[in-house]
């Protein structure tokens, strides 16, 4: 495709952008380095984030413990909600860590996050590649940087879950589809797909199914339906070789699926399709319900700092909806988004696969001078651009003052404060550039720099220091401090998956009487019980006058998943650590 560079780049960061995109290799290296800067901090220092992340990590750990890489289990519970792909990736990275001599590799959460970290980088790089079907190299680079700096992808890059990897595979699939469609609309101008491209497209589809089921094919089918309705023709899709594709997807998915069905029978489909996917459509799952419009409401935070520019691109997208490229991107974004808004179960990461399309659409509007120029619109976008750094600057110290014990002023995250202040300064500069000078590229670059400062404030220097939320790591550390070798564990009143991951697969989640019976067994090795204060009196009574186990220490903190009591007040847990040798 021709490489038009509009006035947007001729007068604003033109030299830097041109230098970074002189060759595709240079652009890829620059994006990889910048993505690592955004996604690497905090990978090892953040605790396992309850509840989903440690469930994934624990299931992968159990695969290594049992040698069973077909069945997926969390303790004794079958975990058939998602396919096996991410567990294989996590098990592989932990095995590499063990081979390299990483101490206690199977309890090192950072190793389980490696697939997400690499998936996030791949999502940025593939956004650049997909964007080249629509944009100049400079525009494609900026679209990819929007993904690198986005709050949501930064979070998913640090969680040992499916979504960063799924996002990368989804962008790859839509990049191939975009090239096939645009080539059919502009023969001889837009490059089409070779046989190798088609194989890679269907391999990406198969891998996406193995990671999170039919989500990516579903989004693709929605886009195909919209484009077929628009063009009254779907002939170009036949060139994607759907027969060959079904064969490739089957070769990727069926070997594991056959073994899984042989082991679990129809219960696998009942769990994955019935209890997980269809249940989310019918009702809110796991207290994650929210009304329609929720995704639009959180978009201004989750896709920050690029989201304010999306506001300025909306009129352009509507005005140019008959343009082939714009229409394809809208078909990628709108149907899936609307369905997610209607579905009762809502989690922010569900919309991640369509964020690259939004980034590309923003840059198409920017390159064609289509961003809104009205003062009120730029003022509103500038306000949204400044909002996130300002909230962090006020909220992070406030959170420490509310949650941390002792002399509050001494508990402030002093290492994070300089980065928070820099983020606020950069946010003000971005606001000024957008509102007063109408320089969206300069505002975006300043916003990306502010995002990097917030990354350094939150992940390595903020959250790990917030001890009130780090209950499981502190309990596991207290258990190790007893000096017991391979102890047995029980817990009462605190049942988070992270505690299972950081202690032992056999951790017993019981009541006070069960914990008393557990810890009173003599001659069976060292036994450790975590007893929340509300159950402690019943625990001592259940010992029935026998010698009480030794109280090692107490750990106070807040369970992030149950931080408020029924009266909506902050609920602080006080957990005693008992040991019997």
Mean pLDDT across 102-125 = 97
**Is residue 5, in this structure, part of any structural domain at all?**
no
* pLDDT band with cut points at 50, 70 and 90 for residue 4: very low
Instruction: Say whether both 536 and 415 belong to one domain.
Output: no
**Is residue 544, in this structure, part of any structural domain at all?**
yes
Supply the pLDDT for residue 282: 47
Under a CB-based contact definition with an 8 Å cutoff, are residues 506 and 547 in contact?
no
Instruction: Say whether both 463 and 477 belong to one domain.
Output: no
| Token pair of 476 as six digits | 């596991």
- Decide if pLDDT at 466 tops 90: no
Supply the pLDDT for residue 104: 94
Instruction: Say whether both 335 and 386 belong to one domain.
Output: no
Instruction: Say whether both 350 and 384 belong to one domain.
Output: no
pLDDT digits (tens, 9 = 90+) for 132-176: 999 999 999 999 999 999 999 999 999 999 999 999 999 999 999
DSSP, collapsed to helix, strand or coil, labels residue 246 as: helix
pLDDT digits (tens, 9 = 90+) for 337-352: 999 999 988 889 999 9
Task: Compute CA distances 22 → 123, 515, 555, whole Å.
Answer: 21, 66, 56
Instruction: Say whether both 277 and 165 belong to one domain.
Output: yes
Backbone angles phi, psi at 320, to 5 degrees: -105, 25
Residues facing residue 74 across a β-bridge = 77
* pLDDT band with cut points at 50, 70 and 90 for residue 12: low
- Decide if pLDDT at 475 tops 50: yes
10 Å CB burial of residue 318 (0-12, 13-18, 19+) is: exposed
- Decide if pLDDT at 11 tops 70: no
- Decide if pLDDT at 412 tops 80: no
**Is residue 2, in this structure, part of any structural domain at all?**
no
Instruction: Say whether both 250 and 342 belong to one domain.
Output: yes
Separation CA 370–CA 365 (nearest Å): 4
Instruction: Say whether both 210 and 273 belong to one domain.
Output: yes
| Of the candidates 561, 471, 86, the residue with the CA atom closest to the CA atom of residue 286 | 561
**Is residue 105, in this structure, part of any structural domain at all?**
no
Instruction: Say whether both 61 and 140 belong to one domain.
Output: yes
CA 374 to chain centre: 35
**Is residue 106, in this structure, part of any structural domain at all?**
no
Under a CB-based contact definition with an 8 Å cutoff, are residues 58 and 51 in contact?
no
- Can you give the residue range of the structural domain that contains 462? 375-467
Under a CB-based contact definition with an 8 Å cutoff, are residues 294 and 346 in contact?
yes
pLDDT digits (tens, 9 = 90+) for 534-567: 999 999 999 987 778 999 999 999 888 876 656 6
Within a 10 A sphere around the Cβ of 20, how many other Cβ atoms? Answer: 19
The contacts found for 65-72 with CB under 8 angstroms, 24 or more apart, are 65/106, 65/505, 70/256, 70/259, 70/260, 70/263, 71/260, 71/263, 71/264
Separation CA 496–CA 104 (nearest Å): 21
In this structure, the strands spanning 550-557 and 573-580 are: antiparallel
**Is residue 92, in this structure, part of any structural domain at all?**
yes
pTM for this one? 0.94
| Token pair of 571 as six digits | 């609920």
DSSP, collapsed to helix, strand or coil, labels residue 105 as: helix
Q: What percent of the chain has pLDDT over 90?
A: 71
Q: What is the DSSP letter of 284?
A: -
* pLDDT band with cut points at 50, 70 and 90 for residue 38: very high
| Token pair of 148 as six digits | 């690198």
**Is residue 429, in this structure, part of any structural domain at all?**
yes
Q: Which of 367, 400, 418 is the C-terminal boundary of a domain?
A: 367
Give helix 307-319 / helix 375-403 axis angle, nearest 10°.
Answer: 150
Supply the pLDDT for residue 190: 59
Supply the pLDDT for residue 270: 65
Instruction: Say whether both 25 and 173 belong to one domain.
Output: yes
Instruction: Say whether both 63 and 155 belong to one domain.
Output: yes
Q: Which of 367, 392, 425 is the C-terminal boundary of a domain?
A: 367
Q: In the chain, how many domains are there?
A: 3
Supply the pLDDT for residue 399: 80
- Decide if pLDDT at 292 tops 80: yes
- Decide if pLDDT at 482 tops 50: yes
Q: Which of 467, 493, 517 is the C-terminal boundary of a domain?
A: 467
Q: What is the mean pLDDT of the chain?
A: 89
Supply the pLDDT for residue 407: 47
Separation CA 247–CA 424 (nearest Å): 52
pLDDT digits (tens, 9 = 90+) for 214-256: 999 999 999 999 999 999 888 888 888 999 999 999 999 999 9
- Decide if pLDDT at 6 tops 60: no
10 Å CB burial of residue 572 (0-12, 13-18, 19+) is: middle
- Helices marked H in 303-374 — which ranges? 307-319, 324-342, 355-367
* pLDDT band with cut points at 50, 70 and 90 for residue 313: very high
Instruction: Say whether both 342 and 438 belong to one domain.
Output: no
pLDDT digits (tens, 9 = 90+) for 250-286: 999 999 999 988 887 766 666 666 555 555 554 455 5
In this structure, the strands spanning 488-492 and 527-532 are: parallel
Residue-by-residue DSSP string for 374-402: -HHHHHHHHHHHHHHHHHHHHHHHHHHHH
**Is residue 6, in this structure, part of any structural domain at all?**
no
Instruction: Say whether both 395 and 511 belong to one domain.
Output: no
CA 202 to chain centre: 24
pLDDT digits (tens, 9 = 90+) for 65-97: 999 999 999 999 988 888 999 999 999 999 999
What is the widest separation between alpha-carbon atoms in the chain?
A: 88
């Amino acid at each position: 495709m021709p490489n038009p560079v509009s006035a947007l780049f001729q007068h604003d960061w033109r030299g830097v952008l041109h230098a970074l995109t002189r060759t595709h290799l240079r652009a890829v290296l620059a994006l990889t380095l910048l993505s690592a800067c955004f996604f690497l901090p905090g990978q090892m220092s953040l605790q396992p984030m309850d509840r989903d992340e440690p469930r994934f990590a624990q299931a992968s750990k159990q695969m290594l413990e049992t040698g069973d890489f077909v069945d997926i289990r969390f303790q004794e519970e079958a975990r058939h909600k998602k396919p096996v792909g991410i567990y294989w990736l996590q098990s592989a990275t932990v095995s590499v860590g063990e081979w390299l001599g990483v101490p206690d590799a199977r309890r090192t959460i950072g190793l389980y996050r490696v697939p997400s970290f690499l998936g996030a980088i791949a999502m940025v790089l593939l956004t650049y590649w997909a964007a080249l079907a629509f944009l100049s190299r400079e525009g494609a680079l900026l679209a990819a940087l929007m993904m690198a700096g986005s709050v949501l992808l930064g979070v998913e890059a640090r969680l040992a879950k499916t979504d960063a990897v799924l996002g990368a595979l989804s962008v790859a699939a839509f990049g191939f589809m975009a090239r096939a469609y645009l080539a059919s609309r502009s023969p001889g101008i837009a490059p089409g797909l070779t046989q190798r491209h088609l194989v890679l497209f269907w391999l990406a589809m198969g891998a996406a199914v193995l990671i999170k089921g039919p989500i990516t094919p579903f989004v693709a089918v929605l886009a195909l339906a919209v484009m077929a309705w628009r063009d009254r023709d779907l002939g170009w899709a036949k060139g994607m070789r759907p027969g060959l594709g079904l064969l490739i997807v089957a070769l990727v998915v069926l070997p594991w699926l056959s073994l899984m069905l042989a082991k679990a029978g129809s219960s696998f489909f009942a769990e994955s399709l019935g209890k997980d996917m269809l249940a989310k459509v019918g009702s809110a799952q796991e207290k994650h319900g929210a009304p329609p419009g929720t995704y639009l409401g959180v978009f201004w935070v989750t896709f920050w700092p690029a989201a304010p520019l999306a506001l300025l691109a909306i009129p352009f997208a509507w005005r140019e909806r008959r343009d082939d490229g714009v229409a394809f991107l809208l078909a990628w974004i709108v149907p899936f988004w609307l369905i997610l808004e209607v579905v009762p179960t809502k989690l922010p990461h569900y919309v991640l696969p369509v964020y690259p399309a939004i980034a590309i659409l923003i840059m198409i509007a920017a390159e064609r001078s289509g961003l809104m120029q009205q003062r009120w619109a730029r003022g509103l976008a500038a306000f949204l651009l400044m909002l996130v750094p300002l909230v962090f600057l006020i909220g992070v110290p406030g959170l420490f003052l509310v949650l941390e014990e002792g002399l509050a002023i001494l508990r402030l995250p002093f290492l994070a404060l300089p980065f928070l202040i820099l983020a606020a300064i950069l946010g003000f500069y971005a606001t000024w550039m957008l509102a007063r000078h109408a320089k969206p590229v300069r505002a975006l670059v300043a916003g990306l720099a502010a995002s990097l400062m917030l990354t350094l404030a939150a992940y390595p220097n903020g959250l790990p220091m917030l001890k009130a939320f780090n209950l499981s790591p502190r309990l596991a550390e207290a258990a190790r401090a007893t000096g017991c070798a391979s102890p047995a564990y029980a817990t009462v009143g605190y049942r988070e998956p992270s505690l299972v991951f950081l202690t032992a697969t056999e951790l017993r989640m019981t009541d006070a009487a069960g914990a008393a019976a557990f810890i009173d067994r003599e001659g069976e090795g060292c036994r450790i019980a975590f007893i929340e204060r509300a159950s402690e009196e019943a625990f001592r009574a259940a010992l029935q006058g026998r010698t009480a186990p030794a109280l090692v220490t107490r750990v106070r903190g807040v369970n992030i998943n149950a931080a408020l009591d029924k009266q909506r007040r902050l609920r602080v847990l006080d957990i005693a650590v008992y040991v019997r040798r």
